[in-house]
Amino acid sequence: MPPLLSVVLPVYQNEGSVARLCEEIFQNLDPHTDELGYEIVLVNDGSTDQSWEMLQKLYRLYPQRLSIINLTRNFGQISALIAGYADARGDCVVSMAADLQDPADKIWEMFLAWRAGHKIVAGRRISRQDGFIKDRISGLAWKLLRRFAVKNIPDGGFDFFLMDREIRDYYITDPEQVIFMQGRLLYYGYAPYFIDYERRKRDMGRSQSGFGRRLKYFIDGFTAYSYLPLRFMSAFGILLCLTSFGAAVAFTWYVLMHGTRVEGWTSTMVAILFLNGVQSLFLGILGEYLWRGLEEIRRRPHYIIRQRLMRQEPDSALRR
């Protein structure tokens, strides 16, 4: 029997795009069903639009191709992906967004690379059309992560990828509470095989991942795979101590040689405010690390499922 490929799609406010994406996947994979079977696992991540109703409609049309999962609330994209991975039965798993920006025609190329022996196949964005400012900010963030946290991550990052079932099992059996997906994927030591593609412009709806979520994800990546902020705090503290010691020696010498005068109120206040600001910043950095440690200790569930409709047998419908 040919290998089974699972496509996992987290769905959040995607009522207008999810049906089109499923059709694109069907069109691109149906011609190859002699060489692979496939399933699509769709996870509704607490959408408040008609996404769940659309998923149920699709399931009634394609019960032997789709599995659908409805979470009790919005747990976030990573948690929705983990829920989908847990239900995926494929020998390899493709992870992609449901907003039509990732091209479904690359799934077959990813599968061929996997069949050739690559455990991880990632889509590398050679260009993106999210807007000038967003593109530049995103590019800078990925460069910083590559430079200081995850050394083998590509400059533009990646969200669209295929992983072998072995790696999928790592996610399921030992999930971290705060997951930086790309770093976790590359942590296992398998060299990724990259397939270049152009990220398409969003032609319907708007991104549900605002600046706050993107910033949190960036911080997650840094705190999970880099101790640079802590080292910076230590180095800055040492430098500040040495500077203070030098200033104390200089002031003592000045007082002995010239006496004392009451002056410099403005410079004193600036120095106090600066040092208090630095202390607050450093406490915030420590808090970010401590909070993530607390999350690991709590071990709260990544998601809670309200309803699940599994792909119907027989598999022969998929593995023709």
The CA distance from 263 to 182, in Å, is 55
- pLDDT of 206 reads 57
Asked whether the predicted pLDDT for residue 271 surpasses 90, the reply is: no
- pLDDT of 312 reads 84
Please tell me the least confidently modeled range out of 27-36, 132-141, 193-202, 237-246.
132-141
Report the pLDDT averaged over residues 107-123: 95
- pLDDT of 240 reads 75
Summarised one tens digit per residue, pLDDT across range 53-86 is 999 999 999 999 999 999 999 998 889 999 999 9
Sign of CA dihedral 184, 185, 187, 188: positive
Q: Residue 270: which pLDDT band, with cuts at 50, 70 and 90?
A: low
Asked whether the predicted pLDDT for residue 224 surpasses 70, the reply is: yes
Per the prediction, the chain carries an average pLDDT of 83
Summarised one tens digit per residue, pLDDT across range 167-198 is 999 888 876 777 888 888 888 889 899 999 88
- pLDDT of 308 reads 93
Q: Residue 204: which pLDDT band, with cuts at 50, 70 and 90?
A: low
- pLDDT of 18 reads 94
The 3-state secondary structure of the chain reads CCCEEEEEEEECCCCCCHHHHHHHHHHHHHHHCCCCEEEEEEEECCCCCCHHHHHHHHHHHCCCCEEEEEECCCCCHHHHHHHHHHHCCCCEEEECCCCCCCCCCHHHHHHHHHHCCCCEEEEEEEECCCCHHHHHHHHHHHHHHHHHCCCCCCCCCCCCEEEEHHHHHHHHHCCCCCCCHHHHHHHCCCCCEEEEEECCCCCCCCCCCCHHHHHHHHHHHHHHHCCHHHHHHHHHHHHHHHHHHHHHHHHHHHHHHHCCCCCCHHHHHHHHHHHHHHHHHHHHHHHHHHHHHHHHHHCCCCCCEEEEECCCCCHHHCCC
Asked whether the predicted pLDDT for residue 157 surpasses 70, the reply is: yes
- pLDDT of 10 reads 95
- pLDDT of 96 reads 93
Identify which of 175-189, 240-254, 299-313 has the greatest average pLDDT: 299-313
- pLDDT of 290 reads 82
pTM, rounded to two decimals: 0.77
Task: List, in sequence order, every residue forming a beta bridge with 195; answer none if it has no partner.
Answer: 123
* 217-244: burial string, b at 16+ Cβ within 10 Å, e else: bbbbbbbbbbeebeeebeeeeeeeeeee
Asked whether the predicted pLDDT for residue 267 surpasses 90, the reply is: no
Asked whether the predicted pLDDT for residue 280 surpasses 70, the reply is: yes
- pLDDT of 129 reads 58
- pLDDT of 274 reads 77
